[in-house]
């Protein structure tokens, strides 16, 4: 009778030991998992902070970010002035604004990688990109290309004596360029939106010139109707982009 009792006691001791070991292991595993998940969440939250990037934004406590943002703002003002004055053609504005959008995207990537900050190296690189864009704006504003260059007749604001249909279309193109310039200046249009709008304006002006070339320097009633239809679509896009939630 003694041996079975001892075996029973040993079994009970073994089961209690296994239960304690298993419980301890599960606690360690659960704690480790929570630490890993918590660390990943914290890292994701911290690294995704790019809200301070963009032309004219002020990000308290981040002087390097603010310096880059202010330069972006200044360059957007120069672009707006170039559109308003006619010194920048639709094609030139499109290319410049694509460059501005790339710059903003690069700033956001740098901030995401550096916990919402910009390092000195980041700032230096972004300033080099801004210097390049600044030179491009100057060159484009002072070359021979303007909104009214590229042959007689067609183009924003041009007045072509004896061609009332051409002048009507040109007047609409001029008005829409003024609206885009105001949107850039006010911050209602982002660089990306401006680039897309100017691409459409460039296409409209190209179509007008092609129609005039095919009709001996004139626009037929059908040409005018089609160009006004395109201008209507552009006008709606300008309004929509200026009144959405996106800001530069």
Q: What is the mean pLDDT of each run of 10 residues along the chain (248 residues)?
A: 52 55 55 52 55 84 94 96 95 97 96 93 97 97 80 78 92 96 96 97 95 93 97 97 86
Question: Position of tokens 């990537």?
Answer: 109
Instruction: DSSP letter for 244, please.
Output: S
- CA geometry: angle 173, 179, 185, nearest 5 deg: 135
Q: How many C-beta atoms surround the C-beta of residue 46 within 10 A?
A: 12
Q: Tell me, what's the pLDDT at 72?
A: 96
Instruction: DSSP letter for 215, please.
Output: T
Q: Pinpoint the alpha helices (H) of 157-214.
A: 164-186, 191-214
Q: Tell me, what's the pLDDT at 159?
A: 83
Query: What are the domain boundaries of the chain?
Result: 63-242
**DSSP characters over 106-137:** HHHHHHHHTTT---HHHHHHHHHHHHHHHHHH
Q: Tell me, what's the pLDDT at 247?
A: 76
Question: Position of tokens 């301070």?
Answer: 52
pTM of the predicted structure, to 2 decimals: 0.76
Q: The tokens of 29 are what?
A: 């595993």
Whether 119 and 210 have beta carbons less than 8 Å apart is answered as no
């Amino acid at each position: 009778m003694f041996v079975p009792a001892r075996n029973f006691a040993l079994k009970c001791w073994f089961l209690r030991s296994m239960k304690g070991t298993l419980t301890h292991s599960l606690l360690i595993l659960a704690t480790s998992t929570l630490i890993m998940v918590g660390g990943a969440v914290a890292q994701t939250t911290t690294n995704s902070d790019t809200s301070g990037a963009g032309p004219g934004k002020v990000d308290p406590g981040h002087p390097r970010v603010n310096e880059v943002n202010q330069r972006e703002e200044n360059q957007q003002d120069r672009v707006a002035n170039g559109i308003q004055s006619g010194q920048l053609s639709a094609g030139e504005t499109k290319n410049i604004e694509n460059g501005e959008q790339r710059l903003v995207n690069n700033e956001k990537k740098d901030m995401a990688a550096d916990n919402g900050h910009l390092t000195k190296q980041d700032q230096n690189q972004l300033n080099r990109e801004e210097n390049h864009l600044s030179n491009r704006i100057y060159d484009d504003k002072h070359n021979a290309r303007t909104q009214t260059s590229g042959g007689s007749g067609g183009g924003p604001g041009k007045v072509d004596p004896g061609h009332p249909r051409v002048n009507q279309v040109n007047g609409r193109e001029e008005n829409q360029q003024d609206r885009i310039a105001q949107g850039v200046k006010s911050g209602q249009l982002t660089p990306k939106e401006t680039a897309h709008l100017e691409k459409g304006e460039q296409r409209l002006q190209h179509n007008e010139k092609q129609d005039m070339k095919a009709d001996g320097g004139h626009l037929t009633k059908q040409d005018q109707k089609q160009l006004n239809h395109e201008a209507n679509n552009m006008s709606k896009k300008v309004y929509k982009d200026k009144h959405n939630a996106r800001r530069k």
